[in-house]
Structure 1
Amino acid sequence: MARRSDRQIFEELLARFESRLRDVFLDCVADIRDTITLRIVVERLEKGDVNGAIEAMHLDPDAFARLETAFAEAYNSGGQATVGNFPRVIDPDGSRVVFRWGLRNPVAEQWLREHSSRLITRIVEDQRDGIRFILSEGLARGRNPKRTALDVVGRVSRVSNRREGGIIGLTTAQQRYVARAREELSNPARMADYLRRQRRDRRFDRTVAKALRDGKPLPGDVVDRIVGRYSDRLLQLRGEAIGLSETMTALAKSRDDAIRQQIAAGKIDAAAVTKVWKHTPQEHPRHHHRAMNGKSVGIDDQFELPNGVRMSYPHSDDAPADETVFCKCYHTMKIDFFAAVERRFRAGR
């Protein structure tokens, strides 16, 4: 069977896991919303107990356990695909050099555990911080506790019978976008600002434009519906960002770890490995990433981008977040497999 190219392997794994991680994240959020008992949240808000209201939403790390599992699957598949595509190598004594990927390798296990923990903790804490701000602000303004709670947890759709809208699952920044959109739609003097929001549901533009022309506020239920769809679109964007960035991270790290496992086992020489930056064409590329296409460094060296940023490889742990979000760059490894064979041959003479 012919060896596949690194790009083929990358594209196959990306197509498989990007959508999977996105969907798992969105399913986790939907499950959180569906298990919330609204009455308990409202009762605690009526008592001014913001922390108690948040606790009643059960926003804890276990709610995202499936996302952790899906990430581990992507990481494992990347490592297996890397070593599975190595050429057949024969040692001087005629025996075959066996390359294996070890998910139970202590280094791999530790990184996977720590990265997953950071990812889930960041998702949960960011949500809780944002929700705490929204609830506290609602109480300070004297808003109805039930409406405030519904703005957070979402409203039950008559079509799907599941909660939609709300701000659970969004980043703190996105949660505040939703709050501002609600303010804009509730004030004719600010409605024009809402129509400039890129993620709005444009099906409501005529309704908003008419209210803007008439200088009249929109009914509360209409505002809820419009804001709910805007929130859903931001959540979809959040899911897409997590699906892409975490898949890219898993594939990049597993490739690096797979090679390093072979180096540690003496089957590949570190000096015989070169990392090569690969840029994937996109609609809105980072031009300094495109300039990196084809650049190469040693396995233990860093790439230096035209803007001065240094990183081990695209989506590595030392890469700044603004260099990874919605980035599809990846790296390949050029390996002289026979350098280690020659070393063993010379050692055996």
Structure 2
Amino acid sequence: MLVRLTPRQRFDILVSQFEPAVRAAFMEAIDDITSNIVLRRIVERLERGDINGAIAAMHLDPTAFRPLDEAIRAAFNGGGVATVEGMPTLRDPSGHRIVVRWDPRNLAAEQWLQAHSTQLVTGIVQDQQTAIRTALETGLSRGDNPTKTAVAVVGRVSTVTGRREGGIIGLAGPQASFVATAREELLSGDPAQMRNYLERKRRDKRFDKTVAKATADGKTVPAAMVDRITGRYADSLLKLRADTIGLHETFAALGASKDIAFRQQMEKGNLRADVVTKGWKHTPQEHPRMQHVAMQGQVVPFDQSFTAPDGTSIPYPHAPGVPTRHTLGCKCFAEYKIDFVAQLVR
């Protein structure tokens, strides 16, 4: 016997299908950037005090993120197709079935993809440039030589994987700052600061004994060991960034495509906005947003927004323009329902 999937189950299937691809695409873009770096060129520019030239030599080109663009487009189109396929059969007043299709070339669909992609990639590149500039300036002002300064940013080539590891390329600005602060803590020789490093959730715990011993002996951690420790810490933060982007961008694409898919049917006259409602569905998490828990079950007309307890208007989860306090890490979705009786009568 066939089992009819619930809206949540169908949504979870879409997330499991597209989220890994988006996450992998981000990592592919970062790997493309780091694998094309020629360390010597960066060092030469730093030796001349040319930080702008050093950053330019890293080729932080928006086109490197084309795999991420394509993965988001696939999630967006997949969500649109799934939405129309999941719509109950629509019929006209004569009882004839209405054919519904997802149109990826629809103006609203193209505009969302273009605007979202531009904003995302531009933001990533600009954030990278700022974080890298800060790291280079800090390293040189600390007295590190150009090679050491450059390696701290771009990472070292692993003899095992052949890829660069341990740099800050790909990290968000605050994450790059975490790496810099962790380095300062380990080199400080201050027991309080070194213990603070041991509280960092994304650290590589395999080095904890080394740090704990140095703390107990009242010594600093050797500089070479600090490079290894902070390198692994940076790699862990990069994985976290990829996970965050994979989740956030997948939910944003699926949420937008569902809303636009319904609007397409309304534009074609297949469906009326006043017979469609949407309900907020909260997904249980280990650390839930209590505001979103409170919104569970909230139902509004199609053309109205949900209202969060803090007064924020949210057209649908992960909608453009919604503050990050309501989107980052959010796993909520909207369930759309059609009043078929009203649709036929009207």
Match of 1:226 in 2: 229
Q: How far, CA to CA, are the matches of 2:94 and 2:299 in structure 1? A: 33
Q: How far, CA to CA, are the matches of 2:327 and 2:95 in structure 1? A: 44
Match of 1:241 in 2: 244
Q: How far, CA to CA, are the matches of 1:7 and 1:196 in structure 2? A: 36
Match of 1:187 in 2: 188
Q: For residue 175 of structure 1, report the CA deviation from its aligned partner.
A: 0.5
Q: How far, CA to CA, are the matches of 1:82 and 1:5 in structure 2? A: 13
Pick which of 271-280 and 312-321 moved more: 312-321
**1:185-236 deviations in whole A, cap 9, x for unaligned?**
1121131221111111111100000011112222222111100110011001
Q: How far, CA to CA, are the matches of 1:176 and 1:59 in structure 2? A: 19
Structure 1: tracts of 5 or more residues without a match: 344-349
Q: For residue 338 of structure 1, report the CA deviation from its aligned partner.
A: 4.7
**1:74-111 deviations in whole A, cap 9, x for unaligned?**
00000000001112233234532011111100111011
**Contact conserved, 2:279 with 2:297, CA < 8 A, in 1?**
yes
Residue 297, structure 1, aligned to residue 300, structure 2: yes
Q: Name the TM-score, length of structure 2 as normaliser.
A: 0.96
Match of 1:34 in 2: 35
SS in 2 for 1:87: coil
SS in 2 for 1:36: coil
Q: How far, CA to CA, are the matches of 2:91 and 2:18 in structure 1? A: 34
Q: Name the TM-score, length of structure 1 as normaliser.
A: 0.95
How many aligned positions are there?
A: 343
Alpha carbons of structure 1 residues 94 and 273: separation in structure 2 relative to 1, 3 Å: closer
Residue 158, structure 1, aligned to residue 147, structure 2: no
**Contact conserved, 2:28 with 2:67, CA < 8 A, in 1?**
no
Amino acid paired to 1:226: I
Match of 2:314 in 1: 311
The within-5 A match list for 1:23-62 is: 23-62=24-63
Pick which of 213-222 and 248-257 moved more: 213-222
Match of 1:143 in 2: 144
SS in 2 for 1:333: strand
Match of 1:347 in 2: none
SS in 2 for 1:131: helix
Pick which of 333-342 and 239-248 moved more: 333-342
**1:23-48 deviations in whole A, cap 9, x for unaligned?**
11112112211110000000001101
Alignment root-mean-square deviation, CA: 1.3
Q: Which of 325, 328, 332 is the matching residue for 2:328?
A: 325
The within-5 A match list for 1:1-349 is: 4-189=5-190, 190-343=193-346
* Aligned-residue identity in percent: 53
Q: For residue 161 of structure 1, report the CA deviation from its aligned partner.
A: 1.8
Q: For residue 266 of structure 1, report the CA deviation from its aligned partner.
A: 0.8
